[in-house]
Structure 1
Amino acid sequence: MKTLGKTGAFTLLAGLSGYYYSKHIEPYWTEITRFTIRHKLIPADFRRFKIALFSDTHLGYHYQLSHLRKAVSLIMEENPDMIIFSGDLMDNPSAYHQIRETVELLRLLDAPFGKFAVFGNHDHGGYGTEKYRYIMEESRFKVLQNTAVPVAKGRSFIFLAGVDDCMLGRPDLKAALARRPGEVYTILISHAPDYADVAKGYPVHLQISGHSHGGQIQIPFVGPVITPRYGRKYVEGLYALDGLTLYVNRGLGTTRLPFRFLSRPEITFFTLEPE
């Protein structure tokens, strides 16, 4: 009986500790990840070009502007050349009303070669399409919705494309790449990581995504517990796919459940290098 009592007490304590950690500690314990991306098409002018990526803030659902302010500070400490947001700014756009405060905060992000964003599924949900576009454009982000832009540095340039969300939008990579000027290093922003299976059939060299939250909760020897549609095949981290490099960022906020376990929120920095 004494042994059973000790076992029960330990189990209860472990459960309470795990609950507290996964709800109050890990969701706000942001990890900074860094990767060097090398490719023969990256021009010498873009050597050490730094790109900051953040994603999936889901503002309004346990992730508040105070948390985003800390993320903005972490990004700006690195002095990136370019900043990318890969979608899902608000968890429920129809219930989110801190528009002015969000714009003021996102305007603090600054990069000499621009700020870019794409739509996530939550950005379209709840009639949020125009609200999201307004916030991002007022925050001086360029929203890439099946469009692309050349990014020039010195006498060289790379090509940056963005597609609409897969779940509630209409992604069209062919349209996004229509003005791609021949053989040039091309980066694609797609909220949905599994869209890489489409992108690898196009002249795209790096795809940047979010959406999956890294599963948000991971069980040792089991893997991710929650994986959304279009984020089930490629869940987190770096993948090499037939000439395409895919990176899946775990995002900053949470959705559905206010927990993270073994899937810390993440800000990623890529440094480009000629091969």
Structure 2
Amino acid sequence: MFFLAIFLFLLVYCGMCFFFGYMGWNWLEHSFSFRHKKTYILVILVLSLSIFVGYSTSSAVLQTIGYYWLTLTGYGLVLLPIAILLFFLFKKKGIRIIGFGVIFTYVLILSVGTYYAWSPVERNYEVTINKSSERDNLKILMASDFHLGSIVGENHLKKFAHLVEETSPDIVLIPGDLIDDHIEPFLQKNMGKIMTEIKAPLGVYATLGNHDYYGNDDEKIVEEMEKHGIEVLTDEVTMIENDFYLIGRNDDTDDDRAGINELIAHLEHSKPLIMLDHQPNELDEAMKSGIDLILSGHTHRGQLFPGNLLTNLLYENDYGLLKKEELNSIVSSGFGTWGPPLRLGTRSEVVVINVKFK
């Protein structure tokens, strides 16, 4: 099944690149009498292969070029048929103007998408937990899906550290996907130095996401994070100042992860129960178990439109706040990006949750 999936992806990708290249050549040839066919084919081949060469050489530049190219060809499946339809509607006239219209749309997509990916915003939610606590309020800053690696690096991480300082939360929570598969870029670029700057009065806590497992570096990730002051809860529970429980689940990728009931069986359920669970898959189980607040990421809210339509179908809560009886589920679209460093229909974000206890 794995090799079949790879074969199908390559087949579709090759088809997308050929279609995009063929349409581009037709436009250049008919609009400008362009004749350098061999040069054009070489450029298309280089762009098409850049994503694979980028990964094999760990080149962030080639990976970025490859992902931008993938985005262009992907949206080309929508934009180029529209251009063909307009061409025939105008009785095969105006091909040059139609082509420039497509180029303008691509420039707009890449410009807006890049801005939304690298310009994080603050989202705010108000949550009430019907349990008593020593404190009346709790200010949580939550951010998920950093995907720190070759593309998302020090500069973006510094923005997060600045937002934490600016927001002054009581506690910082990171529900998974700290690293983008492999920890080497994190170590090589000394990103841990920036992680050390992330502080909050009640501490900084994280759990692992699916991408933290893919490179088999999960143990190293936990070690590195804790070295820099971030406590990673791996199927663990900790009590914060005798006020509330913080429960951190291993990701669904881990076949041996503990069930929710197993983790909270011996806890005082009269105290607030806050859980970090990277993938928002088990909301019913969390609700029945008495969890008060569950924080997740993973979905990226599709990251690139129309991906949000798919995540909305796949998850009961793919983004934002959902209340199920006494359970409050909050899902973030993420702070970093996976794949293309672009966002359309979503935006890089941190989530500030103002919790009131009754």
TM-score range, shorter chain: 0.7 to 0.9
Letter paired with 2:335 = L
* 1:165 to partner: Cα distance: 0.2
Report the AA paired with residue 330 of structure 2: Y
Match of 2:272 in 1: 185
Select 1:60's aligned residue among 126, 149, 171: 149
Unaligned runs of 5+ in 2: 1-89
> Any unmatched runs of 5+ in structure 1?
none
Scaled by the length of structure 2, the TM-score of the pair is 0.69
Q: Check conservation: 1:190, 1:208, Cα contact below 8 A.
A: yes
Instruction: Name the SS for the 1:193 alignment partner.
Output: coil
Q: Match of 1:71, SS?
A: helix
* Residue 254 (structure 1) shift: 1.3
Whether 2:308 is the aligned partner of 1:224: answer yes
Shift of 1:228: 11
RMSD: 2.3
Partner of 2:254: 168
Shift of 1:8: 3.8
What secondary structure does 1:224 align onto?
Answer: helix
- Higher percent of residues as helix: 2
Deviation at 1:170, TM superposition (A): 3.3
Greater length-normalized contact order (CA 8 Å, ≥ 6 residues apart): 1
Specify the alignment match of 2:337 in structure 1: 254
Q: Within 5 A, what are the aligned runs for 1:45-56?
A: 45-56=134-145
Show the counterpart of 2:243. Answer: 157
* CA contact 1:87–1:210 (8 Å) conserved in 2: yes
Query: Where do residues 1-275 of structure 1 align in structure 2 (5 Å cutoff)?
Result: 5-22=96-113, 24-43=114-133, 45-93=134-182, 95-98=184-187, 101-152=190-241, 157-168=243-254, 170-172=256-258, 173-219=260-306, 224=308, 227=311, 232-275=315-358
Number of residue-to-residue matches in the alignment? 266
Structure-2 separation of matches of 1:197 and 1:15: 42
Secondary structure, in 3 states, of the residue corresponding to 1:93?
Answer: coil
How far apart, in 1, do the equivalents of 2:347 and 2:265 lie?
37
The structure with the greater share of residues assigned to strand is 1
C-alpha separation in 1, matches of 2:138 and 2:105? 45
Query: Normalized against structure 1, the TM-score is what?
Result: 0.88
Distance 1:194 1:73, change over 3 A: same
What is the DSSP-based 3-state SS (H/G/I as helix, E as strand, rest coil) of the residue aligned with 2:221? helix
What is the aligned-residue identity percentage?
Answer: 24
Cα distance change, pair 36–97 in 1 and its aligned pair in 2 (3 A): closer
In structure 2, do the counterparts of structure 1 residues 160 and 89 end up closer, same or farther at CA, with 3 Å as the change threshold?
same
